[in-house]
Amino acid sequence: MSIMIEQNSGLTIVRILTDSVDALSAKEIEAAAGELRERTALDFGKVLFINSAGISALLKLVIEARKQGKKLYALNVTAHHRKVFEMVDMLRYMPLTTLEELQATTT
Amino acid sequence: MDPATSRPSRSRSLATLFQRASGSDGLPSPPNPAHPAGDHQKLALVRFTALGAMAVLLPPILGLLGYGALVLPIFLGALVLLGATVAGYTWGNQTQDVRGAWLFYAAADTLVILTLGVLLGNFMDVFLIVVVVELARIYRHGKLVIAGSIVAALLMLGKFGLLQLFPAVAALGAGVRPPTQALLLVVSTMMVVLICAVSLSTFIQHYAREIFSYERIQAVNAAELHVAHEIQSSLMAPRELESGQWSIAAISVPAKEVGGDFYEYIPALGNSIGGIAIGDVSGKGIPAALQMAVVRTIFRIEARRRIFPAETLTRVNQSLQTEMQTQGMVTLLYAFVDPLEGVMHYANAGHNYPVVINDHVEELKLAGLPLGVDGDTEYDERSVPIHAGTSVVFYTDGVVEAFNEQGELFGFDRLLNTLYECRALSPKDLVHFVVDQVQTFAGSVPQSDDITIVVLHHGSAVTRPAGKSATGGTTAGESIPLADVPATPVALAPPTTLWPAPVPGSVGSGTARAHLTNGKGGGER
């Protein structure tokens, strides 16, 4: 299992448990689209590497979330992946934030 | 990233095949040998011969030696094994599964030895465990090792209870004298060794044939991949181009024989340098190469219909959505150079930011969704002056995502430092310098992704003598289709004609854009 989904007072947190988001783990992340709530945060804290298949899956997830009118946030993204997310325009749909900020705005 | 795979060595193939034989690696079945039924019949024939000889010869020999108590158990054991061989042969013939039949024989052999062990002598106990575990180990099946050990332990407990409950059986065991038990041990050991040896040799022979078949297929695949690599290389744009004050150098190093990276030049009027594109299809190997071929074709068509990079990317993205149900994505950066104004217009579909090098290095930060993600995307476009002495470096993510032995990424900062370090090099030397730096950084870590670098350089004004190029390529004024230009350095004709007027109604704006056209007669059709 590459992801773990937690419900946290109105906020869904999708924790990515693998250190590499690739074609295999991407399928599970894509499948998480069905679990998206009004506000969902993807936690990349354990992720060291994301390949192009992983980026593709994440982009499709954020596009799907946008079409459903749901908000996605990214937590604990490394500086390298922050730049990658920026280049593929992912940050427009999934801004970076911290869990504290999210919880503060939730309550 | 996937590790780059090289052609497998023989030892790797053997290991893979035996892993496959164990069925524990989750890999698909190895290719079927030419005659699986022949191997299966051979295995059964060897067993029939060995067990038949045992059933016929051992009882009288034991009787003659005075070990009459052993005659019946040995004879019955041989009969049971012959029966198992018949059953295994029938089953294997139906399924054409030699490995399954071999496992069936081995299970039957183990059962008979266990039964003999239950009935006869304490010497058999330790021997039993060794046989069960060793057979299971040979079969390389972890669950069988555990199950065999449990069964052996249970049978030993059962044997103790059996001897307590049934005095007649206990008497049979007790009636066998220690010397007879020793002989029984020797005979049984020989029996097991014989059966296992012939079965195992047939099994190995069977899979050796598969290994050779597998390696032959690997060799054919490698040859086909090499041809694919040659075809893909021949379709790539030339590695070097010169046109007046402008020059381009490129390098592409796929992680496998074929890759998903590509670069492309779109000629402008007078065959001068026009559009430069660099792209990366998600994935590697043949699937990425096939997808890349489709994307490149669509891009070529769309780029020749219009000039503005943003429009071109928008149309390519729409075409990709309708022409192919892409499962991945494609990053693509398209830049169009106006050589007279010294301006580069560019749009970006999720590709790495290009880097401008002059007395410093600077990224051209323009983000955009990759192609194939959302068909409704419209791309932004920007322009940047490219003064004489300036280079622009385009690259794919294989550069910045190369890992070293410590698990560190090459990364964006290291790339920018490297580019600053080599800012005085010629485009050709620059691309090789960067690739060398990445490969030195990676050390023994296999290349995990395709690496492509394209450098556009605006040099100082140099007047070349008509009829001779600096590189010995073509003469000035000749028209050369860019796609047909060989990979050796080629000097193209400098733009002697002003760019035609912009197409009425085109989206472009700004002074520099007024000079742009696609060189093919106008805007979108």
pLDDT in tens, B208-255: 666 667 777 877 778 777 777 777 777 777 788 888 888 999 999 888
Residues of B in contact with A52 (CB under 8 A): 280-283, 328-329, 331, 397, 449
Predicted confidence at residue B269, as pLDDT, reads 63
Show residues of chain B in contact with A92, CB under 8 Å.
Answer: 367
DSSP SS3 for B502:
coil
Contact B283, A52 (CB under 8 A): yes
A24 touching chain B per CB within 8 A: no
Phi-psi bin for B41: left (phi > 0), alpha (psi -120 to 50), beta?
Answer: alpha
Q: Where are the domains of chain A?
A: 3-96
B364 touches chain A (CB under 8 A): no
Contacts of B412 in chain A (CB under 8 A): 80, 83
- Whether B343 and B400 have beta carbons less than 8 Å apart is answered as no
Per-residue pLDDT, B335: 95
Contact status, residue B140 vs residue B21, Cβ threshold 8 Å: yes
What chain B residue is nearest to A26 in terms of C-alpha separation?
A: B328
Give strand ranges (E) for chain A. Answer: 3-8, 11-16, 20-21, 39-43, 49-50, 71-75, 96-97
**Side-chain half-sphere exposure of B317, counting CA atoms within 13 A:** 27
Alpha helix (H) residue ranges in B394-493: 397-400, 411-421, 427-442
- The C-alpha of A8 sits at a distance from chain B's nearest C-alpha, in angstroms, of 30
Residue B466: predicted pLDDT: 39
Helix, strand, coil shares of chain A as percentages rounded to 5?
A: 45, 25, 25
Q: Search chain A and give the residue with CA nearest B261.
A: A52
Please indicate if any CB of chain A lies within 8 Å of the CB of B436. Answer: no
Whether chain A has a CB inside 8 Å of the CB on B408: the answer is: no
Q: Is A60 on the interface with B (CB under 8 A)?
A: yes
* CA distance to partner chain B, nearest, from residue A1 (Å): 17
Contacts of A89 in chain B (CB under 8 A): 350, 367-369
**Is B405 touching A (CB cutoff 8 A)?**
no
Interchain contact B411–A (C-beta under 8 A): yes
SS3 B291: helix
Provide, as residue numbers in chain A, all residues whose Cβ is less than 8 Å from the Cβ of B348: 87
The per-residue pLDDT for B470 is 33
ipTM, two decimals, is: 0.90
Q: Which residues contact B168 (CB under 8 A, 6 or more apart)?
A: none
Q: Are B412 and A63 inside 8 Å of each other by CB?
A: no
Distance in Å, alpha carbon of A45 to nearest chain B alpha carbon: 17
CA–CA separation, B356 and A6 (whole Å): 44
Beta carbons of B373 and A63 less than 8 Å apart? yes
Q: How far apart are CA B323 and CA B317, in angstroms?
A: 10
B450 touches A at CB < 8 Å:
no
Neighbours of B511 (CB within 10 A): 10
In terms of CA atoms, which chain A residue is nearest residue B380?
A89
Selected residue of B284, B329, B404 to mutate for chain A interface (largest A Cβ count, 10 A): B329
B408-431 burial: b if 16+ Cβ within 10 Å, else e: ebbbbebbbebbeebbebbbbebb
Q: pLDDT band for A84, please (50, 70, 90 cuts).
A: very high
Alpha carbon distance B332, B299 (integer Å): 10
Taking CB atoms and an 8 Å limit, are A60 and B373 in contact across chains? yes
Contact of B380 with chain A, judged by CB distance below 8 Å, is answered with no
pLDDT of residue B132: 57
| Amino acid letter for position B497 | T
Q: Give the minimum alpha-carbon distance from B524 to chain A in angstroms, rounded to a whole number.
A: 27
pLDDT in tens, B169-194: 555 555 555 555 556 656 665 666 56
A86 close to B (CB below 8 A): yes
- CATH code reported for the domain at A3-96: 3.30.750.24
Are the Cβ atoms of A80 and B368 closer than 8 angstroms?
no
Residue B261, strand partner residues = B280
Chain B contact for A23, CB < 8 A? yes
Contacts of B401 in chain A (CB under 8 A): 49, 51
d(CA B41, nearest CA chain A) in Å: 42
- How many CB pairs below 8 A link A and B? 66
Calculate ∠ Cα B225-B226-B231, nearest 5°: 95
pTM of the model: 0.61
Using 50 as the pLDDT threshold, list the residues of chain B that sit under it: 1-36, 123, 126, 461-525
SS3 A49: strand
Considering only alpha carbons, which residue of chain A is nearest residue B376?
A63
- Which domains are present in chain B? 10-218 (no CATH), 236-515 (3.60.40.10)
CA distance B119 to chain A (A): 49
Are B350 and A89 a contacting pair at CB < 8 A? Answer: yes
Give chain B positions within 8 Å (CB) of A48: 407
Task: Answer yes or no: do A87 and B353 touch at CB < 8 A.
Answer: yes
Which residue in chain B has the smallest CA separation from A58? B373
- In chain B, residues with a C-beta closer than 8 Å to the C-beta of A87 are 348, 350-353, 367
Note whether B369 contacts A59, CB cutoff 8 Å. yes
